[in-house]
Amino acid sequence: MIRSRLFSARSWPVLEGVGCWTPLARVSPRPGRLLPQHASPRLLSVSCVDCTKHQEPPRKKLLSEKKLKRHFVDHRRVLVRGGRGGDGVSCFHSEPRKEFGGPDGGDGGYGGHVILRVDRQVKSLSSVLSQYQGFDGGAGGRKNCFGRSGAILYIQVPVGTLVKEGNKVLADLSHPGDEFIAALGGAGGKGNRFFLANSNRAPTTCTPGQPGQERVLFLELKTVAHAGLVGFPNAGKSSLLRAISNARPTVASYPFTTLNPHVGVVHCEDHQQIAVADIPGIVRGAHQNRGLGLAFLRHIERCPFLLFVLDLSVPEPWTQLDDLKYELEQYREGLSERPHAVVANKVDLPQARAQLPQLQARLGREAIALSAATGENLEGLLLHLKELHDDHVAAELERGRQPLRW
């Protein structure tokens, strides 16, 4: 009796170890008869191998902020589409003892917008995809229920992003938290309740949701900083930025130029922070887009004051300042007339120190002679940088504008 009761009960899955288990087919053998050997579950190791075959393929790992700097992108073409609106519903009210309930089809929900939002943690446009599709709205329901509206899709962009459509500038996202609606979501469709009228008491008409707005936008990044280091390649701009801030642009003992702009923050005694941008080296003819001229000059436009870095180790270093101002003026009128200071770098070299008096006489103004490699006279540069920043803050307050805070 005991054996008969056991086998007449429902067959439960057999566990093997602690891992995967395989359910058995429902078997009801006769009393006194053992289970057949071929009905035993598969081994645990075989089951685990089968489980791994059906696992999802590994996804691409997200790049860290350090690796993103190697893939610096300052322009991007983006196709954005707003979410489609939900469809309206055609239905009639149904209730016991109520024969003519009337139409009660609800409207569809609105499609979700696509919005560009400035995030201070984002440093490049490399994380922006080539196209975005907003979330669709839900369809309407019975009892005059409206459909669910689509969620808003936010695209995180860095500070200083310029939004263009063709040649027209749509937005200048230059402050943290700024937002711009890139694509509007579509309107929801109307249910048959919307078409109820005295002439038509039982409408069956309903409309579908409208498609969202579709646009092709061009995003252009212009680095936002207080001061911009402007100079020819191998003038020592990256080394100078490493010496006065915690930024770590790549430097080496052989000549090469930086390809991506870097921003370092200088901390002052009164808890003020001055952002200094290392602009990649400018070459002669940069305003004619020689090399990557326009891509480099674009990052200087937002800097309210400049630091011209001259290399004292080359013959006739005073000609560098005239060439740099010429390139800036040809790119944009008035750019070379902004408040600036002249920095004479590599003064630790004997041939460079010998040319310093002649440089001072040619310029007609005092140049800040220093060495980024040894740290000589960096205090003089920081004091002059603080004066330029204070003058900029005072000028912005007089105009009734809030100065840039990093």
What's the pLDDT tens digit per position in 344-394?
Answer: 998 888 888 888 888 888 887 788 889 988 888 899 999 999 999 999 989
Exposed, middle or buried, 62 (CB in 10 Å: 0-12/13-18/19+)?
Answer: exposed
- CA 33 to chain CA centroid, Å, is 69
HSE value, Cβ hemisphere, 13 Å, CA-based, for 153: 24
pLDDT of residue 306: 92
User: Which tokens in the block code for residue 156?
Assistant: 């995180």
**Cβ–Cβ < 8 Å for 403, 389:** no
Helices and strands: H and E segment counts in the chain:
9, 16
User: pLDDT digits over 221-236, tens only?
Assistant: 887 788 988 888 888 8
* Token reading at 398: 């007089």
Eight-state DSSP code of residue 279: P
- Tens of pLDDT, residue by residue over 17-47, are 344 444 444 444 444 444 444 444 444 444 4
Radius of gyration of the chain, Cα coordinates, nearest whole angstrom: 34
DSSP string, 26-65: P--PPTT-PPPGGGSPPPHHHHHHHHHHTSPPPPPPPPPH
Q: Which residues pair with 179 in a beta bridge?
A: 117
